[in-house]
Chains A and B, each alone.
Chain A
């Protein structure tokens, strides 16, 4: 199946606005998760694992001038969907923009955390914390 293009933040916001049923939200999450480019096997290393996630999440940052490029992957579909949302907010942005972005506000707006178990929510926050650390370090360098 050809991967659909990764959705942008506006797409995600407007699509989520249409959903009432939990099935639609999750079907969308699973769908956008499938649009993520998989991380090469060589990058799925212990060192790239994000601690605190219930499923395995690997994160590899690259820097392109002042922009932070993020490659993130997981072995679980729903987590890949959450990653797609995180990437729509953070990927290919300068560190300042990453640090200024109100991701909790976005999660609230999408009513994401409420639909996740506490452990899953913590995993999502662990991913966000890791990205913000990367942005902070890159901004300082």
Chain B
């Protein structure tokens, strides 16, 4: 396989033909279909939603709510009432911690995460613990970058009220075995939250099959725009949660003495939402739905295998994270070289990667390293990109 045909769908890649973009776990590039949807919305449909005294507003509202339906279908939510728009994964997890957290935990109750979490799936829980007196625990990660299932099982015995785990590790690419991790957490009665930021671009997520209570993800990591994301929440839980921000849009009736709140999902969407972002996010999902998902998965898996094998040939290079199930991410270290130095020299050669702790400092501590160089692949990357990466890494190694 040479350059995938999908590549031509992405204007930025055509505008920067020399760029080898391997920072897809940070954000993906956007297909023309998404850019067109954004422009079309502002050119033809722009109006505020849900307060339609006129036809344009009705059209904007219809497009905005159709986008919600598209997202609900994509993750197989029971209803679009279970799909809340957020600014992204971070805000989605903060929403759960702020609005569901105090209903679920009190003094001395446990919250379980893992050592591999992104800071956005750690710090909101720490803050919840500070507010409520709950205690945060983290299941250990093995040197392979996989969750230590024995340690996870042992910590479940303390009956945590909330378990929050990533679907795919942003730093290492490990795909966590949610089919086993979620049922065991549900068996002790925990609310299960999944940080899906790194999963949604790479494979189909079915929230009902997973059996989680909440699932958080971002548009910009799956070919959509920045600033828009989704929190999926089980309807029963969302119903009992109080609003977390307040203002317009989320109310039913306001009197100075008392306010009654709007129904789901609007109760959690105070203020004018990111209408264009939601519509363009749905355009990204439509784009993905038009492609052959299996072909994307197998293309990305073959890039991962090829990159791993090629990088392993570089003397002094060590791949960090050797889980059996991985997304298309290769984290690595060069003997005696700082990841930032390697990243700078790769950048000089037109190869964009991420270096450092990847917002997962506890994971780096657990692995006994300060950071890594991370190459993350997407559907538009090619074997040529991998070859250029390897050549650039060899040049960097020879200079350092």
Contacts and interface: CB of A to CB of B under 8 A. Distances in A.
Chains A and B are bound partners: yes
Contacts of A26: 344-345, 348, 399
Interface string B135-154: 00000000000000000000
A76 B341 CA distance: 6
A76 B345 CA distance: 12
A52 B356 CA distance: 14
Contact of B340 (A27, A30, A76, A115): A76
A53 B336 CA distance: 20
Interface in B362-382: 370
Interface in B322-375: 337-338, 340-341, 344-345, 347-348, 356, 370
A22 B348 contact: yes
Interface string A75-107: 111110000000000000000000000000000
Contacts of A75: 338, 370
Interface in A61-80: 75-79
B356 A30 contact: no
Nearest to B345: A26
Interface residues of A, number: 17
A22 B349 CA distance: 9
A78 B341 CA distance: 6
A58 B345 CA distance: 23
B340 A54 contact: yes
A123 to B, nearest CB: 9
Contacts of B338: 55, 75-77, 79
Nearest to A21: B348
A27 B356 contact: no
Nearest to A53: B340
B400 interface: yes
A54 B345 CA distance: 15
The 6 A-B pairs with the shortest beta carbon distances in the complex, nearest first, are A76-B338, A55-B340, A22-B348, A76-B340, A78-B341, A77-B341
A61 to B, nearest CB: 24
7 contacts: A55-B338, A55-B340, A56-B370, A76-B338, A78-B340, A117-B347, A120-B344
A56 B337 CA distance: 14
Contacts of B370: 56, 75
Contacts of B341: 30, 76-79
Nearest to B396: A26
A116 B400 CA distance: 17
A14 interface: no
Given A54-B340, A54-B356, A77 B400 contact: yes
Contacts of B345: 26, 78
Given A30-B400, A77-B400, 9 more contacts: A23-B348, A23-B399, A26-B345, A26-B399, A30-B399, A54-B340, A76-B341, A77-B341, A117-B344
A97 B166 CA distance: 53
Contacts of A79: 338, 340-341
Contacts of A120: 340, 344
Interface in B382-400: 395, 399-400
Interface in B299-343: 337-338, 340-341
